[in-house]
Amino acid sequence: MTRTRSDALWIAAFGLLVAFAVPWFLWGDATVVAGLPLWLWWHVGWMALASVVFAAFARGGAWDRGVDAEVIRRG
C-alpha cells in the first residue's frame, strides 16, 4: 500500500472515531442495560475500539508520519 493511501485510511479511521465518539443518536434514550444507561456502554465500547485503533496505528509503522524518526532514534 502506498504511503498516500495509508495516510488517507488512517485519517478516515480517526475521523470516524471522532465523529461517533458522542452518541447523538442515543440522546433522550432511557434504555438501561445491566444497570447502566446504554449511552455509558457506548462510551466504554468506543474507548475500547479507540484503544485498539491507536495500538494498530502505533505498531503499524504509521506513528512516525511527519516526524523525523531517525533524529528521535539518535537522540
Regions of the chain where pLDDT drops below 50: none
pLDDT digits (tens, 9 = 90+) for 41-51: 999 999 999 99
The beta-strand segments (E) located in the chain are 32-33, 36-37
pLDDT at 2: 72
Task: Look at the alpha carbons of 65, 71, 74, 75 in this order and tell me if their dihedral is positive or negative.
Answer: negative
pLDDT at 59: 83
Rounded to 10°, the helix 38-59/3-19 angle is 160
Q: How far apart are CA 53 and CA 42, in angstroms?
A: 16
pLDDT at 48: 96
DSSP for 43-63, written as a single string: HHHHHHHHHHHHHHHHHTT-T
Q: What does the domain layout of the chain look like in residue ranges? A: 3-74
pLDDT at 57: 86
